[in-house]
Chains A and B, each alone.
Chain A
Amino acid sequence: MIKIPSAHYLAIAPVLIYFGASLALLITSALRRSRLSASAATSLSVLSSVAVIVVAVFEWLYVSRHGASETVAHAIVLDRFGVLATVAVALGTLLTSLVAKDWATRSKILGIENQILILATSAGAIMMAVANDLIVIFLGLEILSIGLYVLVAMDRHRARSAEAALKYFLLGGLAAAIFIYGVAILYGATGTTTISTMSLYFATNYLLHPGLAYLGGALVLIAFAFKVAAVPFHNWAPDVYEGAPTPITGYMAAIVKVGAFLGFIRVILSGLGTNLDTWRPILFALIVLSTVVGAVLGLAQKNVKRLLAYSSINQAGFMLLGLWAGTARGVASTLFFVCTYVPVIIATFAIVGLVSGASDEAHDIDSYRGLGRRQPWLGAALAVLLLSQLGAPFTLGFFAKFSVVASALDASGTTLGLVTMLSAAIAAVFYLRWTQLLFADDKVSQSRVEIPAATGTVIALGVATVLIFGVWPTPIMWLCQHASIAFLP
């Protein structure tokens, strides 16, 4: 007799809402004789994202009252860490669905498949962040990735779109296979795939032959490094960022980071946490290489999407800092970094998408020459978003970088602190060059960039977040600190 595990529906409600909305759109669009309008699909995406955020508030209050709990046969965990990740994903989905709608109109992509896929993909990202079982993390990772492969290939008018999708698919498939092989080996070493049970096993057993467990952990780590595009596993990122439709690039940069990093934190610090010192040299190498290589190779880029890809590789190195520290403070600062990166990067790619025009091809940095003179508001918005990624004071990015570096210094990582700050100084060159170009004299008169209402709202929201929480980061930091209390070393 098989026992059906009991499910706590509040814990899985966000995933169910996104899947439900995605399926509902898919079925209605298949059953209806006439085409479902893009605005109807977008409204449903926005509505379900708002619903997820509301559910997340209830979850947060529930955890405050009853404490963290595991459900569905220990496969899903309801804790503040997962709740905060859910909010970040929902926010990213909300912003992306608005940007994607305008992009589809502009580039004449008919149909509502992009909204359907965005919703399903977000469910996968949330699943990764709330999973307490490596198999569930694998499922979340694949739901996230498979949806993204199709989203990347969505633009039928550009050959690059499908090419980028194939590249992403092959390397993403490799990463997934490495991940699940690591899980199989960890299962052999510990007899479980549940993260909390695994952590208990490591805490209560002294391994005479730890080789198997180390091999499994290392494979899982490599797979995650692939997913977050940490050097030396970053080769796919610039091509895929360039080839994907611009709003999808923004979505990918934001959501994959949230899902992968938060899943990563849970596996490394919670599952394998008792021997964090084993993993530190690998993390150290990943951080140094990602920050330095990302910053240096970014200098040579003329295509802004490739430039932002290298910038995101650099940022991924910073996000790993808190993980390397392994302390509650480190986790809180990584969480802060990842969550605040979401609105900033989506708004940045929203502007890049607008400037690139209907063909989505004008990504040369020279297309930005004098943009700030012709359209001061748009230019200023892009400048603010770039300065935030640079880490300039009074922007959100400053506190994000400051807190991760401070947490690493706390854990006596002076070398790491120095190297990452140096890389930030190198990266500042390309951010500042781009910003300066925005306000340079334009020799050739270029046409004005049309700003549709939905995309304009997203850009305004991104800039407002950067400026408001840039001078007043306390509320977000408070949330992150409360969310990471479970990871006290």
Chain B
Amino acid sequence: MNVPAAWYLVLAAVLFGIGAYGLLTRRSALIMFMCLELMLNAVNLTFVTFSRTLSDIGGQASVFFVMVVAAAEVTVGLGIVVAIFRRRSTTSVDELSEMKG
């Protein structure tokens, strides 16, 4: 069965939307990281789909860059969460309220 390219794009858009929604509404830092990953993987799916429809290898090459960046980003993010967890024993962003105004 041949699935039209548009379906992949819609799927990617939905995944990106779910990721963005989760990032903005969830309160656990770890779940927010997962949402961030979901958004970046939706981008990867978009790149690959367009790469296929355009018969251009550039899109697939871009995916590798996005993957590497996503990995680097999460490494640093988890480091920051560990630093906060040591001090407060929580990963909920609601507890982080030292700054107001």
- Give CA–CA (A139, B62) in the complex, Å: 11
Residue B4 CB within 8 A of the other chain? no
B23 cross-chain contacts in A, Cβ below 8 A: 170, 173-174
- Give CA–CA (A184, B49) in the complex, Å: 10
B66 with A180: CB separation less than 8 A: yes
B80 cross-chain contacts in A, Cβ below 8 A: 149-150, 153, 162, 165-166, 169
- Give CA–CA (A185, B43) in the complex, Å: 9
**A-contacting residues, B46-84, CB 8 Å:** 46-47, 49-50, 53-54, 56, 58-59, 62, 65-66, 69, 72-73, 76-77, 79-81, 83-84
Among A150, A156, A238, A306, which residue has its beta carbon within 8 angstroms of that of B76? A150
A146 with B40: CB separation less than 8 A: no
Q: Which of A188-196, A323-331, A479-487 contacts B (4 or more CB under 8 A)?
A: A188-196
A177 with B43: CB separation less than 8 A: yes
Interface residues on A, range: 35 or more
- Known contacts A146-B76, A159-B87, A177-B43; A166 and B93 CB within 8 A of each other: yes
Of all chain B residues, the one with the shortest Cβ separation from A303 is B101
Residue A366 CB within 8 A of the other chain? no
Q: What is the count of residue pairs linking A and B with beta-carbon distances less than 8 angstroms?
A: 117
Residue B99 CB within 8 A of the other chain? yes
B84 cross-chain contacts in A, Cβ below 8 A: 162-163, 166
- Known contacts A176-B73, A185-B46; A170 and B32 CB within 8 A of each other: yes
- Give CA–CA (A193, B32) in the complex, Å: 29
Report the minimal beta-carbon distance from B98 to chain A, rounded to whole angstroms: 5
Report the minimal beta-carbon distance from A366 to chain B, rounded to whole angstroms: 16
A306 with B101: CB separation less than 8 A: yes
B99 with A163: CB separation less than 8 A: yes
Residue B96 CB within 8 A of the other chain? yes
- Give CA–CA (A130, B30) in the complex, Å: 35
A138 with B96: CB separation less than 8 A: no
B32 with A184: CB separation less than 8 A: no
B47 cross-chain contacts in A, Cβ below 8 A: 184, 187
B69 with A169: CB separation less than 8 A: no
Among B16, B24, B99, which residue has its beta carbon within 8 angstroms of that of A160? B99
Chain A 70-88 per-residue mask, 1 if CB under 8 angstroms from chain B, else 0:
0000000000000000000
Residue B18 CB within 8 A of the other chain? no
- Give CA–CA (A192, B47) in the complex, Å: 11
B36 cross-chain contacts in A, Cβ below 8 A: 170, 173-174, 177
B101 with A301: CB separation less than 8 A: yes
Residue A242 CB within 8 A of the other chain? yes
- Give CA–CA (A191, B9) in the complex, Å: 15
Residue A243 CB within 8 A of the other chain? yes
Report the minimal beta-carbon distance from B69 to chain A, rounded to whole angstroms: 5
Cβ contacts A to B, 6 pairs, < 8 Å: A150-B79, A160-B99, A170-B29, A177-B40, A187-B62, A188-B46
Q: Which 9 A-B pairs have the closest CB atoms?
A: A188-B50, A177-B39, A184-B46, A173-B36, A163-B96, A239-B99, A162-B83, A142-B69, A184-B47
Q: A residues bordering B, Cβ < 8 Å? A: 135, 138-139, 142, 146, 149-150, 153, 156, 159-160, 162-167, 169-170, 173-174, 176-178, 180-181, 183-185, 187-188, 191-193, 238-239, 242-243, 300-301, 303, 306
- Known contacts A177-B36, A178-B20, A184-B46, then 10 further A-B pairs from the complex at CB < 8 Å, ordered by chain A residue: A142-B73, A149-B76, A149-B77, A165-B83, A170-B36, A177-B16, A184-B47, A188-B9, A242-B99, A306-B101
